[in-house]
Amino acid sequence: MTKFAGGATQIKRKAVVASAAALLYAAVSAPVHAADLALGEYLSQTCVTCHLKSGEVQGGVPPIVGWPADQFVAVMDSYKKKERENEVMRSIASPLSGEDIAALAAYFATLKPAKP
């Protein structure tokens, strides 16, 4: 077995990664409660200033309505961790808790883009 920093073996590392992935999947695929959607809708007021609720593209800002929740969570987490370069999104994502991001993800996943 290969040893990693801190004495973890490759098998232990794989188990940790698998466990983390299972927890993330459970969090984003759990039934959405009305309170989550209400919180998401409340928090979305900042988002829809640039990301239109209609799902239309304006000024190069991508639509976020109808995104799968897991994709939304992953993108917002990458802004929080400063892995993505947009300073506006970093400043918006930074104060959000995991619960806030999950609520936003659930809310935007329920929206349908306006038909052209």
pLDDT tens sequence across 9-50: 555 655 544 444 445 545 544 555 777 899 999 999 999 999
Question: Which structural domain, as residue segments, surrounds residue 12?
Answer: 1-30
Is 49 or 2 the better-scoring residue by pLDDT?
Answer: 49
Q: What is the pLDDT of residue 47?
A: 96
Residue 58: what are its φ and ψ, rounded to 5°?
Answer: -135, 120
Spatial separation of the C-alpha atoms in residues 7 and 69, rounded to whole Å = 35
Percentages helix, strand, coil for the chain (3-state, rounded to 5) are 60, 5, 35
**What is the mean pLDDT of the segment spanning 4-12?**
55
pLDDT tens-place string over residues 56-112: 998 999 999 999 999 999 999 999 999 999 999 999 999 999 999 999 999 999 999
- Do 48 and 93 fall into the same domain? yes
Is residue 115 in some structural domain? no
Beta carbons within 8 Å of 81's beta carbon, 6+ residues apart: none
- Do 52 and 103 fall into the same domain? yes
- Do 42 and 88 fall into the same domain? yes
- Do 49 and 68 fall into the same domain? yes
Q: What angle do CA 81, 84, 85 make, to 5 degrees?
A: 120
